[in-house]
Amino acid sequence: MQILAISGSLRAASINTALLRATMIVAPSSITVSLYAGLRSLPPFDPDVEMASIDDPSLMPASVAAFGVALRAADAVIFSTPEYAHGLPGVLKNALDWVVGSGEFVGKRVAIFNASAYGTFAHASLLETLTVMSARVVADAAATCTTLHRSMTDMEIVADVLVAHSLTRALDMLAASVRAG
Ligand SMILES: Cc1cc2nc3c(=O)[nH]c(=O)nc-3n(C[C@H](O)[C@H](O)[C@H](O)COP(=O)(O)O)c2cc1C
């Protein structure tokens, strides 16, 4: 099973990205978790470019096309994102805007992880956006990790037995939802 993990943070030492890297490490051999690394390369969403590329696919920016390929190849997607000013980071919302029309999230199983006890506005906003895009958000596959510190590494996260357990449990629930069809 292929799972694409998307962090909403571009910060090199991001706790959200570290949490997703930890998820890659604890994943069982039956699940491959890949970290999407293209958020920074996506251009600002432009509906004119999107419309023009329907007639001429060569007009679609390569990074956007690659994002679509990565999403279509994934059986499920995991998000972990910080909150900026009570909303989603612009780079993450921008990425989602590019795939509203192309429909990669329609019916896609999605899990939302939280690397802190905060960020409830951003998570509610992400849930709303994914729901209107017809994604199937798996509530049982959510992982809220309230004990992490902002400077933790992926290996430090994995070493926390309770957090590691909640990540493997979330992966199991997400995989079970995919298998249930
Ligand atoms: C511009 C900016 C705005 C922020 N706004 C919020 C906020 O509204 N609510 C919140 O809980 N944290 C807010 N934060 C804190 C970040 O969510 C927090 O630092 C988070 O750990 C960053 O995630 P990262 O380590 O994955 O980059 C803000 C941080 C920045 C830089």
Q: What is the pLDDT of residues 98-138, one digit of tens each?
A: 999 999 999 999 999 999 989 999 999 999 999 999 999 99
Residue 41 has pLDDT above 90, yes or no: yes
Mean pLDDT of the chain: 97
Cα-trace Rg, the chain: 16
Residue nearest to atom 22 of ligand 1 (CA): 82
Distance (angstroms) between ligand 1 centre and the Cα of 66 equals 28
CATH of domain 2-180: 3.40.50.360
Nearest Cα neighbor of 109 from 79, 83, 89 is 79
Mutate to test the pocket of ligand 1, among 17, 84, 120 (most ligand atoms within 8 A of CB): 84
Give, using CA atoms, the residue closest to atom 5 of ligand 1.
84
| Residues with a CB atom less than 6 Å from ligand 1 | 9, 11, 14-16, 82-86, 116, 118-119, 150
In this model, does residue 150 exceed pLDDT 90? no
Rounded average pLDDT over 52-73: 97
Whole-number pLDDT of residue 44:
98
- CA-to-CA separations, 83 to 95, 137, 139, 175, in angstroms, rounded: 16, 19, 19, 27
Decide if 7 contacts 148 (C-beta within 8 A): no
Mean pLDDT confidence for 41-57: 97
Q: Where are the domains of the chain?
A: 2-180
